[in-house]
Amino acid sequence: MSQVPANGRPLLEVDDLRTYFPVRRGVFLRTVGHVKAVDGVSFSIQPGRTLGLVGESGCGKSTVGRTLLRLIPATSGSVRYKGEDFFSYRGEELRKLRRQMQIVFQDPVSSLNPRMTVGNIIGEPMQVHGLASGSGRDEMVAGLLERVGLDPAYVTRYPHEFSGGQRQRIGIARALALNPNFIVCDEAVSALDVSIQSQILNLLGDLQKERGIAYLFIAHNLAVVEHISDDVAVMYLGRIVEQASARDLYSNPKHPYTMALLSAVPELNPRPRRRRIVLPGEVPSAVNPPGGCPFHPRCHLTRQAASDADATETAEITVGGTKLRVLRRCAEEMPVLEQKQAEPGHCAACWVTK
């Protein structure tokens, strides 16, 4: 959506990021396993551009956003910001650098401190980083509130006096206060109704044009992401399963999971009609992901392929009591993210599609 060219040095490079949460049991809280919330995620974002990150609830999208901002510790992997290793910063240096990377949270209720006025919520970071103080600060806060479509007179109010949509705008104003280069928008609009959703999306788009901010835009369905993203990554069980430019991903999906997600997008604009693909079974647990391709128990492509294939190349699995026949390779080998027969840069992790 933005006009910034996609060449040159990326603003942010995430390489093989992993975040595991220990699962503790028993009297001594022994670690009995790990929730692999993020399991080897890599992507990069150019300045002034937007990467959409899409996936079902619980697939680890928020964890990606939080880990790359170092709000929760990463298990392994690296994040480079402007070419520098972000994970190597410590103490004061890290605090200063945080100014340039902000986050807008998913839940407008818990993301604002209930004990602080809006003026302080937005103003304190500015003051701490020496961007403004005194009456200059008040003016800047008022200006920001106006920019996100709120009345500047709200500065003396407390968060509980606002609606969800208003709070979300306050959260956006807080992220903008530090004039960042990069914002993680963690389902910034999911909690809002549709008319307000589009207002906020427009606002984010305008701000991007004005200030050249890069976004990691997290959402759980493709409809929202389509309008705002330059590139889209689809996540499943802590991994990226498909990554492409937004246009190519929507017109030519290469992963069965993306196809399923796309078929669930309500059709507003004329587009070739798709049959709705209903995914059978539950989202598998991130503690014990299925072997092989993590998606194979729910995959319609592998079932189709298996019905045409040789019996030696297939295997029988049980999903929720019913027996299914899938490709042996899908059930046994983890597919890698590889270039498909599409635009350059369009990758997917699937054994079936070409």
Partner 1 sequence: MTSSTATSVMTGAKAPAARPRSLMAIVLRDTVSQLGARLAVAWIGLLILGAVFGPFIANSFPLIARVDGRWESPMWRYLVPTDVVLLVVFIATIILCGVRQMTVPVKVGIVIWLLALVIPLALWAVLARDLSWYRHEYGTGLVVISLGVAFGLDLAVLVLVPLKLPLSSRQWTILGLFAAALTGILVLHPVKPPTTIIYDQYRELGRAGRMQFSLPAPVPYSPTDRLRDQPDAQLLAPDTRHWMGTEINGADVFSRMIHASRVALAIGFIATGIAIVAGCAVGGVMGYFSGRVDMLGMRLLEIFEAIPTLFLLISCVAFFGRSLYLVMVIIGLTSWSGYARFVRAEFLRLRNQDFVLAAIAAGLPLRSVLFRHMLPNGLVPVLVSASFGVASAILSESVLSFLGLGLIDEPSWGDLLNQATGQGGTFTWWLAVFPGLAIFLTVFSYNLIGEALRDALDPKLRDGASD
Helix (H) or strand (E) holding 232: strand 231-236
Q: Does 103 bind partner 1 (CB under 8 A)?
A: yes
* 21-to-16, 120, 238, 328 alpha-carbon distances in Å: 16, 34, 12, 31
Is residue 62 part of the contact set for ligand ATP (CB under 6 A)? yes
From candidates 19, 46, 50, 62, binder to Mg ion by CB under 5 A: 62
Give 17's strand partners.
41
Q: Which stretch binds Mg ion (CB under 5 A): 5-13, 54-62, 150-158, 343-351?
A: 54-62
Binding mask 40-69 for partner 1 (x = CB under 8 A): --------------------------x--x
- 3-class secondary structure per residue, 305-345: HHHHCCHHHEEEEEECCEEEEEEHHHHHCCCCCEECCCCCC
User: By CB under 6 A, is residue 286 in contact with ligand ATP?
Assistant: yes
Neighbours of 304 (CB within 10 A): 14
1 binds partner 1 (CB under 8 A): no
Q: State the minimum distance, in angstroms, from the CB of residue 91 to ligand ATP.
A: 24
Residue 106 touching ligand ATP (CB under 6 A):
yes
Residue with tokens 């399923």: 260
Torsion angle (degrees, nearest 10) of CA 176, 177, 179, 181: -40
Judge contact between 172 and 104, C-beta under 8 A: yes
Query: Interhelix angle for 164-177 vs 118-128, to 10°?
Result: 10
Answer for which of 35, 144, 173, 241 binds ligand ATP (CB under 6 A) is 35
57 binds ligand ATP, rule: CB under 6 A: yes
Least distance in angstroms from the C-beta of 190 to ligand ATP: 8
Selected from 1, 4, 6, 97, the binder of partner 1 by CB under 8 A is: 97
Residues that bind ligand ATP (CB under 6 A): 21, 35, 37, 55, 57-63, 106, 220, 286
